[in-house]
């Protein structure tokens, strides 16, 4: 196994190379050593500040304090996830993504993509699609359920578009098929009509994930879901999304100053045959 700066090989991990990047899948984060968790906590904090601190990220103290507190909070620590993917450029962490599995009810097994952070210098390189493919591998999904619901909250239109690209790439896949995703944003910057069962599911999810935060059902937005950790996102941060409709929707309805996040759901099926 390839070793990274400040890390040690860990049982239950897989490491592969993709052009300029090295991808490490941590299949059992709960087995990580104390030393590895400490190192990852620091790496996660550093990368998150870089991604959310805007042009003066290196001196953005509220973000550094807030993210440090976040990654030391139970439920958000490295060892608290059920599956995690790290992407390195050389010895530097360029991206990470992690999820938890739970059942919303007897019909809805949930893959909660709890966190996904990318170094702005590596945005646009397909790194999120790469990590999502590793995170949601067909062999692993088959151990959860034939049909699963992957969900995430995001203030970032680039993340929304990257995950939409993942969905489009898997509409006709043999092993893992994405049936559809919600919400879908039109070229006019408006939400396409949503089925009532998805609206009901989203309301239940919002209450489960962020019970103290208002749920804006009209816009599919959880208001202030990161607010308790202070202003994690600087008012100078920019998300240069190239898709006009998506960019406009986020600008109008997802507000960084109040730490909002769009709730996204995509329905996945595995070929368990």
Summarised one tens digit per residue, pLDDT across range 19-29 is 789 999 999 99
Q: What pLDDT, on the 0 to 100 scale, is given for residue 54?
A: 85
DSSP 187: T
Residues whose CB is less than 8 angstroms from the CB of residue 218 and which lie 6 or more positions away in sequence, other chains included: none
Q: Is residue 35 part of a domain?
A: yes
Q: What pLDDT, on the 0 to 100 scale, is given for residue 267?
A: 93
DSSP 183: P
SS3 270: strand
Average pLDDT over all residues of the chain: 89
For residue 222, give its domain range.
13-270
Integer Rg of the chain from CA: 18
Using the predicted structure, report yes or no on whether residue 122 has a pLDDT greater than 80.
yes
Using the predicted structure, report yes or no on whether residue 273 has a pLDDT greater than 80.
no
Q: pTM of the full predicted structure?
A: 0.87
Q: How many angstroms separate the Cα of 52 from the Cα of each of 96, 195, 260?
A: 14, 33, 13
- pLDDT-based confidence at 56, cuts 50/70/90? confident
Segment 204-214 mean pLDDT: 95
Q: Is residue 7 part of a domain?
A: no
Q: How many angstroms separate the Cα of 172 from the Cα of each of 27, 48, 268?
A: 26, 34, 11
Residues whose CB is less than 8 angstroms from the CB of residue 70 and which lie 6 or more positions away in sequence, other chains included: 48, 76, 226, 229, 232
Q: Is residue 6 part of a domain?
A: no
Q: How many angstroms separate the Cα of 69 from the Cα of each of 15, 63, 211?
A: 29, 10, 20
- pLDDT-based confidence at 1, cuts 50/70/90? very low
Q: Is residue 115 part of a domain?
A: yes
CATH code for the domain of 189 = 3.40.630.30
Which one, of 97, 163, 164, 144, lies nearest residue 269 by Cα? 144
- With b for 16 or more beta-carbon neighbours within 10 A and e for fewer, the 138-156 pattern comes to bebbeebbebbbbbbbbbb
Q: Is residue 94 part of a domain?
A: yes
For 94-152, give the DSSP string.
EEEEEEEEEEEETTEEEEEEEEEEE-GGGTTSSHHHHHHHHHT-HHHHTTT-SEEEEEE
- The token pair at 110 is 């949930």
Q: Is residue 42 part of a domain?
A: yes
The total number of structural domains in the chain stands at 1
Segment 158-183 mean pLDDT: 87
| CB-CB contact of 48 with 12 (8 Å) | no
Q: Is residue 28 part of a domain?
A: yes
Q: Is residue 8 part of a domain?
A: no
């Amino acid at each position: 196994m390839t070793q990274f700066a400040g890390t040690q090989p860990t049982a239950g991990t897989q490491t592969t190379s993709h052009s300029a990047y090295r991808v490490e899948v941590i299949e059992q984060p709960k087995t990580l050593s104390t030393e590895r968790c400490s190192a990852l906590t620091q790496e996660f904090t550093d990368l998150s500040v870089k991604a959310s601190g805007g042009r003066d990220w290196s001196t953005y103290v509220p973000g550094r304090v807030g993210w440090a507190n976040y990654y030391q909070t139970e439920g958000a620590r490295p060892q608290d996830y059920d599956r995690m993917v790290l992407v390195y450029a050389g010895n530097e962490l360029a991206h990470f993504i992690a999820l938890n599995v739970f059942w919303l009810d007897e019909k809805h097994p949930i893959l909660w993509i709890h966190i996904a952070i990318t170094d702005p210098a590596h945005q646009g390189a397909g790194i999120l699609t790469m990590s999502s493919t590793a995170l949601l591998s067909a062999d692993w999904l088959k151990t959860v359920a034939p049909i699963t619901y992957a969900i995430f909250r995001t203030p970032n239109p680039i993340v929304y578009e990257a995950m939409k690209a993942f969905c489009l790439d898997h509409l006709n896949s043999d092993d893992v098929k994405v049936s559809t995703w919600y919400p879908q944003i039109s070229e006019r910057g408006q939400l396409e009509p949503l089925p009532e069962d998805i609206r009901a599911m989203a309301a239940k999810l919002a209450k489960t994930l962020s019970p103290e935060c208002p749920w804006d059902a009209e816009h599919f937005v959880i208001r202030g879901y990161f607010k308790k950790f202070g202003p994690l996102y600087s008012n100078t941060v920019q998300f240069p999304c190239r898709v006009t409709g998506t960019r406009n929707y986020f600008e109008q309805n997802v507000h960084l100053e109040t730490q909002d996040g769009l709730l996204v759901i995509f329905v996945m099926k595995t070929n368990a045959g």
